[in-house]
């Protein structure tokens, strides 16, 4: 108790103190769950299961592709829909393409070599800090 009193200016705490709590905002019928993306626009990521890497150029807070696309993923590796999904300018050893990947299947790519997808130059500049949106692309 002496330590507590030293920390809090010698005042003894009251037995009960009221804590004000803000009421939760009302639930909207069509509300989309808010999600925070772990990764950023311009970040280079690689897939955990498949051999490709890419630069993030857009993020959906939750799955926003077609049911047909989602159902084409084998059930044993099908990710949950209620997580961020990333649009990547992707590449593997054979080709370049645009990938749509769930957050659970991505990790930061520590390889410091350039991602050579041809569309990257349309949106990004490569700086010492990495891929940065061109000024015309920023909101």
- Region 25-38 average pLDDT: 63
Answer whether residue 17 shows pLDDT above 90.
no
Q: How far apart are the C-alpha atoms of 103 and 107, rounded to whole Å?
A: 8
Answer whether residue 28 shows pLDDT above 80.
no
- Give residue 135's pLDDT band: very low, low, confident or very high (50, 70, 90): confident
- Say what percent of the chain tops pLDDT 70: 74
Please state whether 116 falls in left (phi above 0), alpha (psi between -120 and 50) or beta.
Answer: alpha
Positive/negative CA dihedral, 43, 49, 50, 51: positive
Instruction: List the 106-108 sheet strands across, edge first.
Output: 96-102, 85-91, 53-60, 44-47, 106-108
Between 130 and 17, residue with greater pLDDT: 130
CATH code of the domain occupying 33-137: 2.30.30.390
- Give residue 36's pLDDT band: very low, low, confident or very high (50, 70, 90): confident
CB atoms within 10 A of CB 85: 22
Q: What does pLDDT average to over the chain? A: 84
CA 138 to chain centre: 18
- Region 59-86 average pLDDT: 95
Domain ranges of the chain: 33-137
pLDDT value for 15: 54
């Amino acid at each position: 108790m002496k330590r507590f009193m030293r920390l809090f200016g010698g005042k003894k705490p009251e037995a009960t103190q009221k804590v004000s709590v803000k009421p939760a905002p009302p639930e909207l019928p069509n509300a989309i769950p808010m999600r925070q993306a772990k990764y950023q626009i311009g970040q280079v990521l690689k897939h955990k299961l498949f051999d490709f890497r890419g630069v993030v150029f857009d993020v959906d807070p939750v799955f926003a592709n077609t049911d047909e696309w989602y159902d084409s993923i084998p059930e044993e590796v099908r990710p949950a829909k209620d997580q961020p999904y990333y649009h990547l300018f992707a590449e593997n050893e054979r080709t370049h393409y645009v990938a749509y990947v769930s957050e659970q299947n991505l990790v930061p790519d520590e390889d410091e070599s350039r991602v050579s997808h041809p569309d990257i130059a349309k949106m990004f500049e490569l700086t010492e800090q990495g891929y940065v949106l061109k000024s015309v692309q920023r909101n």
